Homo-oligomer: A and B are copies of this chain.
Amino acid sequence: MKKEIPYKIYLSEEELPRQWYNVRADMNTDHAPILNPKTLKPATVADLEPVFCTELAKQELNTTDKYIDIPEEVRNFYKMYRPAPLVRAYCLEKALGTPAKIYYKFEGNNTSGSHKLNSAIAQAYYAKEQGIKHLTTETGAGQWGTALSMACGYFGIDLTVFMVKCSYEQKPFRKAVMQTYGANVIPSPSMTTNVGKKINEEFPGSTGSLGTAISEAVEVATSQPDTKYVLGSVLNQVLLHQTIIGLEAKTAMLKYDEYPDIVIGCAGGGSNLGGLMAPFMEDKIAGKQAPYFIAVEPASCPSLTKGKFAYDYCDTGKVTPLAKMYTLGSGFIPSSSHSGGLRYHGMSPILSQLYHDGYIDEARAVKQTDVFAAATQFAKVEGILPAPESSHAIKVAIDEALKCKETGEAKTILFGLTGTGYFDLAAYTAFNENRMEDYAPTDEELAKGFSYIPELDI
């Protein structure tokens, strides 16, 4: 007889994973290397070291070690907010009248409000170990900047966050959280870097972009002593750290003899979905029973469903290495009408390869208003006010549960609830007041953004 399943499954601290899982070691691929933007040759650790911490550069390129130890200090920090609960959505199931069993892994129970902290604390730790005194990064919506501020505050590392100016002005509370944790938050474009000065001269009154903010952060990292740059998504190292999500989720499900038929996650840079699905993907690669994987992206920024699998820059400013990934082109500027943090032109190279090779079964693009309708429905019955990003996964989880209602199948659905929406209430208000617009780029608009390099189109 199966054990009765509680509303929330909490693992004990002893069950907190001791290693991250490096899915690349198991993948049936040659792993298209990232390329040095100057030479277009595969990047080495030495190529990455001027910008990144050495240990993180090694993780970025590691395709052979299946497990990587989680340092004890990182694990101790994790204990302040992990293991994160795996929630059985009894109330949502009842509201939908579905025979499906719905689970979600909730990553919002920490002050950053999202899963970003899982990688922030790891990156800050390796920086501290290397004697780095100062980190730089960029932030758009602010989740990553908040997470990194918490991590740097904990380890006593100085942090400079270049925050896209329009966000800096529209989201003063995000800025305030970062400052409370001790970060120096600078609106970008700023007058503190050459790149920033140049943009301010050329485009007076510019409200900034993620591309410019990255360029400013990298400039500071490479021009000051004991300073490195860190990034919160897309990179292989970030997906590696995020596998803690999937490892915990799998352990929690197996404890109750459960296993998902479907795994659903929102996909922006891809690290949260990658982290959630990796330990289940291990089963699929091994040819065992495995879930049906669905990546959910916004119709306004449809890199998997409308993009091309090709080498491209990771940033708009084209200063970062090139990666082979699904991309709308680094020149693609996502519509600002879409809220949330999924507005990235590319996609995690790991996720991209898995999707290209058919291991991720489906990518689905969804409309913003449908996402907020699902978010509101979820909030009322499950209590948690979800982040707009996470709500993309909720939308598809509800759709799949309603399919089960039609067919009578009692499928087990697992989705990632990456965070809370406390700082996204302007978007909720727009939705509540029927002022929210849907947008999807036309084929002509999409064609404009492509900037990958033809000779690398392999």
On chain A, the number of residues with a Cβ less than 8 Å from chain B's Cβ atoms is: 46
Q: A150-B380, A173-B425, A180-B379 are in contact. List 19 more A-B contacts (CB 8 A).
A: A6-B79, A7-B79, A7-B80, A8-B79, A80-B91, A91-B154, A110-B383, A111-B420, A113-B422, A153-B380, A154-B380, A172-B429, A173-B422, A173-B426, A177-B422, A179-B429, A180-B385, A181-B379, A422-B423
A380's nearest neighbour on chain B, judged by CB, is: B153
**Residues A385 and B111 in contact in the complex (CB < 8 Å), given A7-B79, A80-B91, A422-B423:** yes
Which residues of chain B are near A79, meaning CB under 8 Å? 6-8
A121's nearest neighbour on chain B, judged by CB, is: B383
Which residues of chain B are near A223, meaning CB under 8 Å? none
Can you report 13 residue pairs joining A to B where beta carbons are below 8 Å apart? A6-B12, A7-B79, A8-B79, A8-B80, A10-B10, A77-B383, A110-B383, A111-B383, A153-B380, A173-B425, A176-B432, A180-B432, A182-B380
A interface residue numbers (CB < 8 A to B): 6-8, 10, 12-13, 76-77, 79-81, 87, 90-91, 109-111, 113, 150, 153-154, 172-173, 175-177, 179-182, 376, 379-385, 420, 422-423, 425-426, 428-429, 432
Which residues of chain B are near A111, meaning CB under 8 Å? 379, 383-385, 420
Chain A interface main SS type:
helix
How far, in angstroms, from A385 to B172 measured CA to CA in the complex?
A: 16
Evaluate contact between B383 and A81: CB separation under 8 angstroms.
Answer: yes
Evaluate contact between A179 and B432: CB separation under 8 angstroms.
Answer: yes
Which residues of chain B are near A7, meaning CB under 8 Å? 13, 76, 79-80
Choose among A179, A182, A382 the residue with the greatest number of B CB atoms under 10 Å from its CB: A179
Which residues of chain B are near A87, meaning CB under 8 Å? 80
Nearest CB on B from A71, distance (A) = 16
Evaluate contact between B177 and A425: CB separation under 8 angstroms.
Answer: yes
A379's nearest neighbour on chain B, judged by CB, is: B180
Evaluate contact between A172 and B380: CB separation under 8 angstroms.
Answer: no
List 3 tightest A-B contacts by C-beta distance, closest first: A173-B425, A7-B79, A176-B425
**Residues A80 and B110 in contact in the complex (CB < 8 Å), given A176-B425, A376-B180:** no
Which residues of chain B are near A381, meaning CB under 8 Å? 154
Which residues of chain B are near A179, meaning CB under 8 Å? 428-429, 432
Which residues of chain B are near A175, meaning CB under 8 Å? 429
How far, in angstroms, from A173 to B170 measured CA to CA in the complex?
A: 13
A78's nearest neighbour on chain B, judged by CB, is: B7
Nearest CB on B from A158, distance (A) = 13
A146's nearest neighbour on chain B, judged by CB, is: B385
How far, in angstroms, from A411 to B281 measured CA to CA in the complex?
A: 49
How far, in angstroms, from A91 to B156 measured CA to CA in the complex?
A: 14
Nearest CB on B from A137, distance (A) = 18
A174's nearest neighbour on chain B, judged by CB, is: B425
How far, in angstroms, from A367 to B314 measured CA to CA in the complex?
A: 49
Which residues of chain B are near A376, meaning CB under 8 Å? 180
Which residues of chain B are near A113, meaning CB under 8 Å? 422
How far, in angstroms, from A343 to B91 measured CA to CA in the complex?
A: 36
How far, in angstroms, from A198 to B6 measured CA to CA in the complex?
A: 52
A171's nearest neighbour on chain B, judged by CB, is: B425
A179's nearest neighbour on chain B, judged by CB, is: B432
Evaluate contact between B385 and A425: CB separation under 8 angstroms.
Answer: no
How far, in angstroms, from A316 to B87 measured CA to CA in the complex?
A: 43
A6's nearest neighbour on chain B, judged by CB, is: B13
A10's nearest neighbour on chain B, judged by CB, is: B10
Evaluate contact between A176 and B109: CB separation under 8 angstroms.
Answer: no
Nearest CB on B from A278, distance (A) = 25
Nearest CB on B from A146, distance (A) = 9
